[in-house]
């Protein structure tokens, strides 16, 4: 499984982001390309501890049992529910969000695995390795959503 902490995987994701077109329609979901980029940046902010989102009751009850969904080799399901605090509904500037996400990825990759004490709002505590795999998988999921 790829991890965002691997330089070649990070470069591959960055290359795919560069191929993204702001006018392409998503294969599923409601976000446009700029909103998706902002969503991915917001997700990375949670992963790095820059922001927090409270745990849902369902996450508290079953999160630890289903958390391998986040970091295993199987693709994320289309239209999977998302963390409400990072559901982007307002209009965003595509180029600004694209550059912000790319810089977040570069920083995350450069700094490497960090603190194991950052919980996922649904799945709970994750190791740095699990976060690295999950971040890659999340980015891959959304880039496929937009055909790149």
User: 41-97 pLDDT, tens per residue?
Assistant: 999 999 888 888 888 888 889 999 999 999 999 999 898 888 888 999 999 999 999
In the chain, where the domains are located: 7-145
Task: Concatenate the DSSP letters of all residues of 88-129 into one string.
Answer: --S---HHHHHHHHHHHHHHHHHH-S--TT-EETTTEE--HH
Residue 115 pLDDT more than 70? no
| Least-confidence region, from 4-8, 85-89, 134-138 | 85-89
Predicted pLDDT of residue 138 = 97
**On the CB side of 140, how many CA atoms lie within 13 Å of its CA?**
22
Cα 11 from Cα 109, distance rounded (Å): 10
């Amino acid at each position: 499984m790829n991890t965002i902490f691997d330089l070649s995987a990070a470069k591959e994701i960055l290359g795919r982001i560069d191929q993204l077109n702001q006018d392409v329609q998503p294969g599923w979901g409601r976000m446009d390309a700029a909103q998706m980029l902002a969503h991915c940046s917001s997700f990375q902010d949670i992963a790095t501890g820059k922001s927090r989102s409270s745990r849902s009751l369902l996450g508290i009850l079953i999160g630890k049992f289903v958390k391998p969904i986040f970091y295993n080799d199987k693709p994320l399901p289309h239209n999977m529910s998302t963390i409400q605090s990072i559901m982007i509904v307002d209009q965003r500037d595509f180029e600004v969000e694209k550059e912000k996400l790319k810089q977040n990825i570069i920083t995350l990759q450069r700094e490497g695995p960090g603190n194991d004490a950052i919980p996922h709002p649904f799945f709970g505590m994750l190791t740095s390795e699990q976060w690295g795999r999950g971040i890659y998988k999340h980015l891959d999921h959304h880039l496929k959503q937009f055909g790149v």
